[in-house]
Structure 1
Amino acid sequence: MILLFTISGKHIEITEAIKTHAQEKTSKLPKYYNSINQIEVIVDGSQGGSLSVEIIARAEHGKVFVGTDTGQDIYRCIDMAAHKLERQLGRAKGKERDNKYPGGHPADRSEESEPT
């Protein structure tokens, strides 16, 4: 699957170091949720000295996940927004897995039904 990555800045210049850091942090997101096909990072510097980072992960079937953080250090904001997104993706994957097997995983149930 091809992962489309875009980064944009509002009232701030996106340096190569910022772009590389954002790519490194967001490249790990598909391991938390397999069907991600686009990641967008938006850095906003218009909040009077503080920065806002928003990471948007788009998945199949129109699912959208968003992680945001605000602070003084752009690298820390990227890290925190990515961490928030990892938690969201992990919860979504867990819910899908639980809905697929509402009574538990089939392998778990077959072990319980065997006579001892």
Structure 2
Amino acid sequence: MIVTITGKHIEVTDAIRAHAEEKVEKLPRYYDSITQIEVVLEGNNSGMQGVEILVHAEHNDLLIAKETGTDTYACIDVAAHKMERQLRRAKEKQRSHKAASASEVADIEIASQLPEEGVA
């Protein structure tokens, strides 16, 4: 898994980089097939900071979480939490589709094994 942390109009200090890495390193717990994580920190003249977390997964899946505020660390925390929820939801959706298809196959197999009615 590749983790990239970049800044636009903001200097990414070692402390900010360490905090962001700490938060995004936990994301693979929630979704197995993550291939790359990008954290983009944005700053502007009005004092507002923005954080965008992009998670690339297998099969060209891309999940994005954004947060803006005055504190960069708080924005990283909130964006990471948003991404955790998205990853949990995506994994649950993936599981439910796999489980449904497996149960449908089992129902078809059981139905094919039952004797037909009306046949003497």
TM-score, length of structure 2 as denominator length: 0.82
Match of 2:95 in 1: 97
Q: Deviations over 1:55-114 (max 9, x none)?
A: 000001100011110001100000000000000000000000000011787xxxxxxxxx
- Cα pair distance change 1:37/1:102, threshold 3 Å: same
**4+ aligned runs moved over 2 Å, structure 1:** none
* C-alpha separation in 1, matches of 2:61 and 2:45: 29
Q: Which runs of 5+ in 2 are unaligned?
A: 104-120
Amino acid at match of 2:95: R
TM-score, length of structure 1 as denominator length: 0.85
Match of 2:55 in 1: 57
Q: How much does 1:49 deviate? A: 1.1
The correspondence for 1:32, drawn from 23, 30, 36, is 30
Amino acid at match of 1:72: T
Q: Which has the larger radius of gyration?
A: 2
Aligned length: 105
Match of 1:85 in 2: 83
Tell me if the contact between 1:49 and 1:72 (Cα under 8 Å) persists in the aligned partners: yes
Q: Which runs of 5+ in 1 are unaligned?
A: 106-116
The correspondence for 2:70, drawn from 59, 69, 72, is 72
Matched residues, percent identical? Answer: 52
- Cα pair distance change 1:35/1:76, threshold 3 Å: same
